[in-house]
Amino acid sequence: MSWVLDLQSVTVRRGTTTILDSMDWQVAEGERWIVLGPNGAGKTTLMQIASARMHPTAGRATVLGETLGRVDVFELRPRVGLASAALAEHIPADELVRDVVVTAAYGVTGRWRERYEELDTARALELLRVFEVDALADRTYGTLSEGERKRVQIARALMTDPELLILDEPGAGLDLGGREELVGALAELAADPHSPVLILVTHHVEEIPPGFTHMLLLGPHGTVQAAGPLAEVLTAENLSAAFGMPLLVAYGGGRWLARAAQPAAARGRH
Ligand SMILES: Nc1ncnc2c1ncn2[C@@H]1O[C@H](COP(=O)(O)OP(=O)(O)O)[C@@H](O)[C@H]1O
Ligand SMILES: [Mg+2]
The enclosing domain of 233 has a CATH number of 3.40.50.300
Residue 45 CB less than 6 A away from ligand 1: yes
Q: Report how far ligand 2's centroid is from the alpha carbon of 140 (Å).
A: 27
Which tens digit of pLDDT belongs to each residue from 152-171? Answer: 999 999 999 999 999 999 99
d(C-alpha 104, C-alpha 100), whole Å: 7
**pLDDT tens track for 117-165:** 788 899 999 999 999 999 999 999 999 999 999 999 999 999 999 999 9
C-alpha 23 – ligand 2 centre gap (Å): 17
Answer whether 0.85 is exceeded by the pTM: yes
Which contacts (CB < 8 Å, 24+ apart) does range 38-43 have?
38/203, 38/218, 38/220, 38/242, 38/243, 38/244, 39/203, 41/218, 41/219, 41/220, 41/222, 41/242, 42/12, 42/218, 42/222, 43/168, 43/169, 43/201, 43/203, 43/218
- Would the pLDDT of 108 be above 90? no
DSSP E strands, 28-73 = 32-36, 58-63, 66-67
Residue 95 pLDDT greater than 60, yes or no: yes
| Residue 262 CA neighbour count, 13 Å, CB half | 9
Tell me, using a 6 A CB cutoff, whether residue 16 lines ligand 1: no
Ligand 1 contact, 109 CB (< 6 A): no
Best mutation site among 10, 17, 48, 84 for ligand 1 pocket (most ligand atoms within 8 Å of CB): 17
Closest residue to atom 2 of ligand 1, CA basis: 14
Rounded average pLDDT over 253-259: 96
Is the CB of 43 within 6 Å of ligand 1? Answer: yes
- Tell me the CA–centroid distance for residue 108 and ligand 1, in Å: 29
Task: Please report which confidence band the pLDDT of residue 42 belongs to, taking 50, 70 and 90 as the band edges.
Answer: very high
Q: What is the pLDDT of residue 104?
A: 84
Provide the domain count of the chain.
1
Q: Which domain holds residue 210?
A: 5-268
Residue 2 has pLDDT above 90, yes or no: no
DSSP letter, residue 269: T
219 Cα–ligand 2 center, Å: 14
